[in-house]
């Protein structure tokens, strides 16, 4: 038996042990949960009215004691306090309230962002715990786990490749735009001289079909040139 076989057997034995333990503990856990829920509901039904009544009575006694004993003494003490001290106390109270409000405004967004950042992590941890428990129970085999890992690796490689291609395309487009701009700056349109205009004379223009037809008609009307007779030619020679 090789080392891998012994490790595999130990893992299978541990998985079977955990599965048997979970199956054995599951009924007791379900019973305990139901009992706890029942006791909690019963305690809530019995204690909720008493707690509410006690809270109301405590609030009433506190308000009565404040109105009877503390409030008159505070009014009398404030009447004997010099005005500068009273103003300083009022300013201190206002500054304390402002500082508390600023602290709340400063910490609330950060707490919300921290909670928002921690929520996906907690969900991922819960999902991984569920997957690990399913693997320990034997519901997911090692091949399936390995297949999922390879699928995630391929997906990550595809995402990296797409990002690289997009980055290369963006850089190429920016380089092309810069080159076109530099070409326009180096060779502006007003710097290029237009070609010289060429004029066609009437003689150099090719004759059209109508002109050739008119020329042939004129030649036909005039006829060929007449030749003089031989005698006349001899007389002229003499």
How many distinct structural domains can be found in the chain? Answer: 1
Do 19 and 136 touch, CB atoms closer than 8 A? yes
What pLDDT is recorded for position 141?
A: 66
218 lies in some domain = no
Q: Give the pLDDT confidence score for residue 90 in this predicted structure.
A: 83
pLDDT along the chain (238 residues), means of 10: 70 78 76 83 83 87 86 78 80 89 86 83 77 65 75 89 92 91 75 55 54 76 56 44
Residue 24 has what pLDDT? Answer: 76
Within-domain flag for 34: yes
Q: What was the pLDDT predicted at 188?
A: 64
Q: What pLDDT does 173 receive?
A: 92
Provide the pLDDT for residue 196.
57
pLDDT at 218: 77
User: Is residue 168 in a domain?
Assistant: no
Q: Tell me, what's the pLDDT at 224?
A: 55
Assigned token pair, 156: 């990550």
Range of the domain at 16: 1-80
* Residue 41 maps to a domain: yes
Residue 19 is assigned to a structural domain of this protein: yes
Residue 234's pLDDT is: 44
As a dihedral over the C-alpha atoms of residue 20, residue 26, residue 29, residue 31, rounded to 10 degrees, the angle is -140
65 part of a folded domain: yes
Which residue from 27, 8, 6 is spatially nearest to 16, judged by alpha carbons? 8
Q: Please tell me the total number of residues recorded for the chain in this structure.
A: 238
Residue 9 lies in a domain: yes
Domain assignment present for 26: yes
| End-to-end alpha carbon distance in the chain | 145
Is 136 within 8 Å of 15 (Cβ atoms)?
A: yes
């Amino acid at each position: 038996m090789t080392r891998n076989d012994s490790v595999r057997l130990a893992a299978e034995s541990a998985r079977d042990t955990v599965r048997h333990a979970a199956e054995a503990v599951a009924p007791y856990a379900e019973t305990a949960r139901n009992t706890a829920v029942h006791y909690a509901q019963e305690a809530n039904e019995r204690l909720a009215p008493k707690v509410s009544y006690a809270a109301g009575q405590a609030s009433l006694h506190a308000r009565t004691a404040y109105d009877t004993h503390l409030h008159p003494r505070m009014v009398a003490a404030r009447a004997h306090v010099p005005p500068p001290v009273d103003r300083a106390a009022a300013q201190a109270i206002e500054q304390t309230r402002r500082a508390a409000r600023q602290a709340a405004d400063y910490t609330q967004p950060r707490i919300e962002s921290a909670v928002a950042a921690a929520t996906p992590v907690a969900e991922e941890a819960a999902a991984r715990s569920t997957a690990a428990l399913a693997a320990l129970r034997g519901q997911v085999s090692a091949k399936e786990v390995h297949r999922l890992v390879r699928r995630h690796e391929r997906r990550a490689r595809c995402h990296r490749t797409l990002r690289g291609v997009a980055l290369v395309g963006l850089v190429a487009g920016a380089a092309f735009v810069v080159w076109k701009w530099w070409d326009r700056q180096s060779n502006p349109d007003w710097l290029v001289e237009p070609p010289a205009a060429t004029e066609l004379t009437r003689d150099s223009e090719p004759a059209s079909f109508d002109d050739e037809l008119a020329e042939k008609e004129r030649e036909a009307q005039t006829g060929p040139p007449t030749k003089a007779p031989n005698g006349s030619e001899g007389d002229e020679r003499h």
